[in-house]
Structure 1
């Protein structure tokens, strides 16, 4: 399977860096079996970067009402497509479902996308270092998200 592990985040915003850090650590585990990239800004140009892969595993921060920092959620793009009130997870203003649709309309081969959204305290606070709760969760996040990716890769190989 031709797969990409893609981390999104901002390395000057405290908790928003978690997607980058977790992805870089997972790259050590999966570097020989999938491509690993990190981006500090989501953008419409992701269409070309995602095109041609069979599967993309995306790791990013999320802030939900009542969420516990350090938890993570697994979504498909259709489950988190932003609505009119922009309440959904977006690759920074362009929803992934929209991105897939646009890519397909442009004749691009678009992948299956699995989103690992890591709950953070505040994705918009500038500063160095993650908040204590998120930083403490990182080792478990690396192991658990890695196991989820491992399961997906094995299921695809068996099919």
Structure 2
């Protein structure tokens, strides 16, 4: 069972870097056969190539919700985060992961089971170095808690063969 842990973020946008930072830290914690780690500065249609060929992908990225506090985190499946009409619908700049997997399968690609770990941030669009204080302080806890979740997913998949 092959698992990719993929961090998505932008190194020059303060809180948006959190997905990259958490994945970098998880690499030493979850280093074992069958688990690989990558980071990307962009999503969109390029993700099809990154996702293809893996059995399972755990994506770690930032999110801003209406009621969340920086440092909160959520687990989604790709269908739960599809763009809607209010966000502009389907376009290359906001293609949802559910749509991406459907497109990948239509192109003959082997698409994985995907779990999204979304970390609440204060502002993913502010340019600058260093995360905001609230997000930065939450990183050790995020590494621990999200790491536990991914570790459990990997162990369950290994035990059940899927």
CA distance in 2 between partners of 1:154 and 1:41 (Å): 29
CA distance in 2 between partners of 1:96 and 1:130 (Å): 26
What's the C-alpha RMSD, in Å, of the aligned pairs?
Answer: 1.6
Distance 1:68 1:14, change over 3 A: same
Gaps of 5+ in 2: none
CA distance in 2 between partners of 1:51 and 1:35 (Å): 13
For residues 8-44 of structure 1, give each alpha carbon's deviation from its aligned partner in whole angstroms, at most 9, with x where no partner exists: 0000000000000001001111233311000011131
Gaps of 5+ in 1: none
User: What is residue 6 of structure 2 aligned with on the other side?
Assistant: 6
User: What is residue 85 of structure 1 aligned with on the other side?
Assistant: 86
1:92 Cα shift? 5.3
Q: TM-score, normalised by structure 1?
A: 0.94
User: What is residue 105 of structure 1 aligned with on the other side?
Assistant: 106
Secondary structure at the residue paired with 1:44?
helix
Distance 1:48 1:106, change over 3 A: same
CA distance in 2 between partners of 1:10 and 1:143 (Å): 22
Corresponding residue pairs, total: 157
Secondary structure at the residue paired with 2:7?
strand
Counterparts of 1:147-158 in structure 2 under 5 Å? Answer: 147-158=148-159
Distance 1:120 1:146, change over 3 A: same
Q: TM-score, normalised by structure 2?
A: 0.93
The runs of at least 4 aligned residues of structure 1 exceeding 4 Å deviation read none
